[in-house]
């Protein structure tokens, strides 16, 4: 046999095998294209042209870097708007409804009633005596079974009768309760005859195991509000303060910087026991944060569903007519600078205080020296002045402490249980239990019921849909699928040698998922960048807003996949679509889509998927790496095996399963 024949026969065999779809198309690189079949030459030529067209199409950016503006436009349409309440009787009737709604649907969602009804366990420890004027009592208190908050109670050495109490919060400072500026504040309050509780901010100081605040979403997916731990730390802390025999319940203040300022506005708005509120550089409205990413904050500041009820302007108005001092910093190098925060909060809410006849109860102060993100001497002098005004008697407006009274973090350390819980471990225990208790649907009735529950937890948005072709690259067309204010870029090529339709979605962007030559020849190919993928990716902060406004990132992704599948089916006139999906987010969204509407799909092939949502806490998966997966309460409703059980008639392939792709989605 000649050398030419030795080449030609294997070539013909490969072509026959490929026509049957039995061999991955990377073998095209091995095929001899010098044979004597004109059809083969033409096929190879068409393939080269189509691959060239796809290379051009992959370089095209339909959104042209405008994804961020697109999501901001969407959010401006759904975030609440604020008008200062001036009909006081009507407002007084609404405020209790707002408090109840926020507590029930945001901060305490999922917490068992028996847990909330129990008094906090308190363990008192060592007493420090750094000065004759006061003592520091170490303590820890439990806010959830196994989760303890370390704290320090600064107590005047000579107590007579009832005295004011101050709940002191802190923000994102690694020293936590031992931060120098916070010690100074608490010392000076005690030297003024007040009880001052200095409690640890979750994620700081002795609680740094939970430093990544966004990872509280690991609790969210199990149906327990992660932000509720922050609320309970404040509530139980105030309970302890007011249980003190010398505490005056009519003179209760709360204050804090940064994250401490956020805690101050939230708790002061939701708990009427706080009679004076002094937040420092801690918040602005959600809507105002859209144009200032540095003001967005972590998940606790933009919690799930908060914006369906109110914004921070509403919280500020809920303080009225109680005294409040809003302290800001002129050149704040962190967040909430005076110039952009005062108009949004103080100026906007002042009419409500005026309507109460209590305009003098609402003040603001802008620190100039140093003017940075601080709660130093000048800002503390404003604290002392304001407390003098409402608590009396008059005390000096300057600090009274000595430098040697500032103690080290080690000295101020509180003894904690060796089995102290963490957010991740609490989430893991809940996730394991929920996953263990799940069973596949038994019959059609069970399947239909489960689909309804899945649709409800995903909150499928039901966007209106339109489509338009925006560009053409030879054999590849670019379409924009517009769903409300959101656009899904889709690239599409028609097959000349087959009638199958393949939809490709990937966490890093479908355009980056390169097709084997056989796929391009034998399939109509659609590549879609759904919400949160490819050029449709947004910063984590903007995605926080989406869920705060009542949507679910995963729900948007699922609806967009279903819309893309319908579009692909209509364009190519096939009965069902094949899907190929890459990445932990896209695989989960596609599995949900196919589970909800299996009649749309023929094959579902996933790469980099997980076999249980419990792995989000067990691995763990960082929220910032895959935010859509942390859909509130999803694991209460279903897990991956149950979704597979809903794939009626869909062939499910998982060539590579696991968490290997997680890092790739950063």
For residue 400, count CB atoms less than 10 angstroms from its CB and return exposed for 0-12, middle for 13-18, buried for 19 or more: middle
Q: What would the mean pLDDT of 74-100 be, rounded to a whole number?
A: 97
Task: Look at residue 520 in the predicted model and tell me its pLDDT.
Answer: 84
Q: Would you state the CATH architecture of domain 124-393? A: 3-Layer(aba) Sandwich (3.40)
| Joined tokens for residue 418 | 């060796």
Does residue 17 carry a pLDDT above 70? no
pLDDT > 90: percent of the chain: 86
Please tell me the pTM assigned to this model.
Answer: 0.92
Q: What is the pLDDT of residues 138-191, one digit of tens each?
A: 999 999 999 999 999 999 999 999 999 999 999 999 899 999 999 999 999 999
Nearest to 220 by CA among 538, 611, 621: 621
Q: What is the pLDDT of residues 35-66, one digit of tens each?
A: 445 567 777 888 888 889 999 999 999 998 89
Task: Look at residue 43 in the predicted model and tell me its pLDDT.
Answer: 77
Q: What is the pLDDT of residues 482-517, one digit of tens each?
A: 999 999 999 999 987 778 999 999 999 987 777 777
How far apart are alpha carbons 609 and 619 in whole angstroms?
13
| Joined tokens for residue 463 | 């966007």
Task: Look at residue 38 in the predicted model and tell me its pLDDT.
Answer: 57
Q: What is the pLDDT of residues 325-373, one digit of tens each?
A: 999 999 999 999 999 999 999 999 999 999 999 999 999 999 999 999 9
Pairing label, strands 500-506, 465-473: unpaired
SS (H, E, C) 41-77: HHHHHHHHHHHHHHHHHHHCCCCCCCHHHHHHHHHHC
Q: Which ranges constitute the DSSP H helices of 295-443?
A: 312-319, 338-341, 348-356, 377-391, 423-436
162, HSE (Cβ side, Cα atoms, 13 Å): 9
Task: Look at residue 662 in the predicted model and tell me its pLDDT.
Answer: 37
CATH 3.40.50.1820 range(s) for the chain read 52-75+430-665, 124-393
Q: What is the pLDDT of residues 559-613, one digit of tens each?
A: 999 999 999 999 999 999 999 999 999 999 999 999 999 999 999 999 999 999 9
pLDDT > 70: percent of the chain: 92
Block residue for tokens 């506005």: 265
The radius of gyration of the chain's CA atoms, rounded to the nearest angstrom, is: 30
Does residue 15 carry a pLDDT above 50? no
Task: Look at residue 651 in the predicted model and tell me its pLDDT.
Answer: 97
Q: What would the mean pLDDT of 451-476 be, rounded to a whole number?
A: 96
Task: Look at residue 515 in the predicted model and tell me its pLDDT.
Answer: 77
Q: What is the CATH number that goes with domain 52-75+430-665?
A: 3.40.50.1820
Task: Look at residue 39 in the predicted model and tell me its pLDDT.
Answer: 64
| Joined tokens for residue 544 | 């926080």
Q: What is the mean pLDDT of the chain?
A: 91
Task: Look at residue 18 in the predicted model and tell me its pLDDT.
Answer: 28
Helix (H, G, I), strand (E, B) or coil at 166: strand
Task: Look at residue 45 in the predicted model and tell me its pLDDT.
Answer: 84
Q: Which ranges constitute the DSSP H helices of 549-622?
A: 553-572, 584-596, 615-618
Does residue 530 contact residue 433 with C-beta atoms inside 8 Å?
Answer: no
Does residue 19 carry a pLDDT above 80? no
How far apart are alpha carbons 370 and 628 in whole angstroms?
40
Whether residue 393 has a cis bond before it, omega within 30° of 0: yes
Q: What is the pLDDT of residues 604-651, one digit of tens each?
A: 999 999 999 999 999 999 999 999 999 999 999 999 999 999 999 999
Q: What would the mean pLDDT of 85-112 be, rounded to a whole number?
A: 98
Does residue 199 carry a pLDDT above 90? yes
Q: What is the pLDDT of residues 302-327, one digit of tens each?
A: 999 999 999 999 999 999 999 999 99
pLDDT band at 4 (very low <50, low <70, confident <90, very high): very low
Task: Look at residue 28 in the predicted model and tell me its pLDDT.
Answer: 26
H-helix or E-strand containing 318? Answer: helix 312-319
């Amino acid at each position: 046999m000649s050398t030419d024949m030795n080449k030609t026969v294997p070539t013909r065999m490969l072509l026959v095998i490929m026509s049957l779809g039995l061999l991955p198309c990377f073998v095209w690189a091995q095929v001899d294209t010098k044979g004597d079949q004109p059809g083969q030459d033409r096929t190879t030529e068409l393939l080269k042209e189509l691959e060239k067209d796809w290379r051009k199409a992959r370089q095209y950016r339909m959104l042209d870097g405008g994804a961020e503006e697109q999501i901001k436009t969407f959010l401006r349409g759904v975030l609440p708007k604020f008008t200062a309440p001036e009909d006081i009787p009507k407002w007084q009737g609404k405020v209790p409804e707002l408090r109840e709604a926020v507590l029930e649907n945001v901060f305490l969602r999922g917490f068992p009633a028996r847990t909330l009804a129990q008094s906090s366990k308190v363990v008192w420890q060592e007493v420090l005596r750094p000065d004759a004027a006061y003592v520091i009592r170490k303590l820890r208190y439990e806010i959830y079974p196994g989760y303890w908050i370390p704290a320090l109670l600064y107590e005047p050495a000579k107590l007579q009768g009832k005295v004011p109490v101050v709940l002191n919060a802190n923000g994102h400072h690694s020293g936590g309760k031992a931060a120098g500026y916070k010690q100074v504040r608490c010392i000076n309050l005690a030297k003024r005859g007040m009880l001052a509780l200095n409690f640890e901010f979750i994620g700081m100081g002795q609680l740094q195991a939970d430093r990544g605040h966004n990872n509280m979403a690991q609790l969210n997916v199990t149906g327990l509000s992660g932000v509720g731990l922050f609320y309970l730390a404040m509530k139980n802390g105030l309970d302890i303060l007011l249980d003190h025999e010398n505490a005056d319940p009519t003179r209760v203040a709360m204050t804090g910087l940064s994250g401490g300022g956020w805690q101050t506005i939230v708790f002061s708005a939701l708990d009427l026991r706080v009679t004076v509120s002094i937040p420092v550089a801690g918040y602005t409205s959600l809507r105002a944060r859209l144009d200032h990413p540095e003001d967005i904050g972590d998940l606790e500041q933009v919690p799930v569903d908060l914006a369906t009820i109110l914004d921070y302007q509403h919280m500020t108005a809920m303080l009225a007519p109680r005294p409040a001092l809003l302290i800001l910093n002129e050149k704040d190098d962190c967040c909430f600078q005076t110039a952009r925060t005062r108009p949004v909060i103080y100026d906007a809410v002042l009419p409500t205080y005026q309507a109460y006849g209590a305009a003098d109860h609402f003040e603001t102060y802008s620190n100039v020296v140093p003017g940075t993100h601080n709660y130093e001497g000048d800002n503390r002098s404003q604290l002392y002045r304001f407390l003098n005004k409402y608590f009396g008697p008059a005390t000096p407006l300057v600090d009274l402490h000595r430098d040697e009274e500032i103690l080290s973090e080690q000295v101020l350390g509180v003894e904690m249980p060796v089995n102290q819980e963490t957010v991740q471990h609490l989430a893991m225990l809940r996730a394991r239990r929920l996953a263990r208790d799940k069973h596949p649907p038994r019959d059609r009735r069970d399947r239909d019921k489960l689909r309804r529950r899945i649709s409800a937890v995903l909150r499928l948005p039901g966007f209106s849909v339109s489509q338009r072709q925006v560009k053409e690259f030879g054999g590849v067309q670019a379409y924009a699928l517009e769903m409300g204010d959101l656009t899904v870029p889709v690239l599409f090529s028609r097959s000349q040698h087959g009638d199958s339709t393949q939809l490709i979605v990937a966490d890093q962007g479908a355009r980056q998922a390169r097709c084997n030559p056989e796929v391009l020849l034998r399939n109509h190919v659609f590549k879609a960048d759904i919400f949160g993928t490819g050029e449709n990716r947004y910063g984590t902060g903007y995605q926080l807003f989406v869920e705060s406004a009542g949507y679910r990132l995963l729900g948007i992704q699922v609806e967009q996949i279903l819309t893309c599948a319908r579009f692909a089916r209509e364009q190519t006139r096939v009965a069902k679509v094949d899907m190929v999906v890459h990445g932990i987010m896209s695989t989960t969204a596609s599995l949900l889509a196919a589970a909800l509407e299996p009649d749309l799909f023929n094959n579902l092939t996933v790469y980099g998927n997980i076999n249980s949502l419990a792995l989000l806490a067990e691995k763990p998966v960082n929220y910032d790496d895959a935010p859509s997966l942390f859909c509130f309460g999803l694991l209460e409703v279903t897990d991956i095996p149950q979704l597979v059980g809903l794939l009626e008639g869909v062939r499910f392939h998982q060539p590579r399963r696991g968490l290997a792709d997680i890092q790739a989605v950063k």
